Amino acid sequence: EILTGLANEHSVVVVEHDMEFIRSIAKKVTVLHEGSVLFEGNMSEVQENEKVRRVYLGE
């Protein structure tokens, strides 16, 4: 609840693997892989991105 409230008015950096939680608060998501930015976009774009799917879902 605290993060949701903050996220409405501020930028918040959250390091998390729980994608349901991220989906509930994020407007913009940055996906990191081995210390570098793999992709950045909204949650729909992240879920549809081929690189993200290959690295994290093994597709």
Q: Model confidence over 9-34: pLDDT tens digits?
A: 888 888 998 988 888 888 899 999 99
How many Cα atoms within 13 Å fall on the side-chain side of residue 13? 1
Distances (CA, A) of 22 to 3, 32: 10, 14
pLDDT at 40 over 80: yes
Q: Which residues contact 44 (CB under 8 A, 6 or more apart)?
A: none
For the chain, the domain total comes to 1
CA proximity to 53, closest of 31, 36, 37 = 31
> What's the rounded mean pLDDT across residues 46-51?
95
pLDDT the model gives residue 4: 78
pLDDT the model gives residue 32: 94
Q: Which domain holds residue 22?
A: 2-57
> What are the φ and ψ backbone dihedral angles of 46, each rounded to 5 degrees?
-60, -45
